Amino acid sequence: MGKRPTRRTFVLSAGAGMAAGVVMASAAPAALTPLKVVSFAGLSNVPIFAAQKNGLFTKYGLAVDLMFTPNSKAQREGLASGAFQIIHTAADNAVAMVELAKDDVIIVVGGDNGFNRIFTQPDIASLADLRGKTLVVDAPNTAFALLLYKALKDAGLSSSDYKVHPVGGTPQRLNAMLTDKANAAAGILNPPLSFKAAADGLKDMGSATKAVGAYQSGSVAVMRSWAKANSDTLVRYIKAIVEGYRWVLDSANKDAAITLLADRLKLSGDAAAKCYAVVTDPVDGFAKDAKFSTQGFENVLKLRAEIEGEWGGHPPAPGRYIDLSYYNTAVAGL
């Protein structure tokens, strides 16, 4: 499963109280339900950070242990094995779990389009110039790699025209390009590391989703059996996350949100402000209440069918991969 993910633990505990020197008799505070959650480090975690900052996990009786994965393979395998219960991941990773590993996974929440851009070494004039070059990706057969392959296909390149080097998540892809110029393209990068890539001289070749249109990237996925056995816990988690999205997107919290971004992502004030502008963009920013885009997910399936040849090139109906009943229950209760 690769190296152990970096860990950040968000656990808040209640304490006993005394008034006027007299111990007040009261019921013991309810125990918090522990949850292990795994995500990729980056901008998509801001609603989770907001939920932690504002005590939303505790509000809903949860103790959330957030861990960052080095790559999608480790994340997918850990969810399937029960090492953790919830993942924040690209929606196509959940599809890959169902189709490639035969794991009964469901997507329960949406999020964002990934804010993905294609970066190359500065001497690359066009995507067609990547013929014969090496491309670095996370995993070679899921999510952002497929977006890159689609862009290259539209530029006239076939899969035999380039080499694919899987190195892991966004930090690993950026590092691979900066330390070895033989890695001609990083495939997909997103904020804040896309800002660093540009500052360090890599070339921004434009949006990775331009060729597919609406795209459902950010999502929350769980094992179907776990969701059924822990429906109340899952609904409470979704409530906390949705409230986290609401806090981030509320303009009244702009300054506090930028400060949160700077603190949690270790950014300068200027970089944090740029990230805030990205996630609050009315068209391409975070989806309101983390709403799932059916159209965006249909394009995810179409892309897999076209590039990987899944389902004989004819994508299935999206219903087999999603169950929004938990989300609907959560939002109805807010």
- Per DSSP bridges, beta strands 33-39 and 62-68 are parallel
pTM across the whole model: 0.86
Report whether 60 contacts 12 (CB < 8 A).
Answer: no
Question: What are the domain boundaries of the chain?
Answer: 6-18+30-113+215-332, 117-207
pLDDT tens sequence across 56-66? 999 999 999 99
| 241: nearest Cα among 42, 45, 35, 43 | 45
Residue the block writes with tokens 């995500």:
39
The burial class, CB within 10 Å (0-12 / 13-18 / 19+), for 181 is exposed
pLDDT tens sequence across 153-207? 999 999 999 999 999 889 999 999 999 999 998 778 999 999 999 999 999 999 9
Give the relative orientation of helices 269-279 and 254-265 as an angle to the nearest 10 degrees: 120
Report whether 257 contacts 248 (CB < 8 A).
Answer: yes
State residue 312 phi and psi, 5-degree precision.
65, 25
Order of all β-strands in the sheet with 33-39: 6-10, 62-68, 33-39, 86-90, 218-223, 105-109
pLDDT above 50: residue 19? no
Q: What is the mean pLDDT of residues 256-264?
A: 97
Fold of 6-18+30-113+215-332: D-Maltodextrin-Binding Protein; domain 2 (3.40.190)
Segment (H or E) for 255: helix 254-265
Query: Coil, strand, or helix at residue 178?
Result: helix
Instruction: Please count the other Cβ atoms lying within 10 Å of the Cβ belonging to residue 69.
Output: 29
The class of domain 117-207 in CATH terms is: alpha beta
Q: Establish whether domains 6-18+30-113+215-332 and 117-207 are of one fold.
A: yes
State residue 122 phi and psi, 5-degree precision.
-65, -20
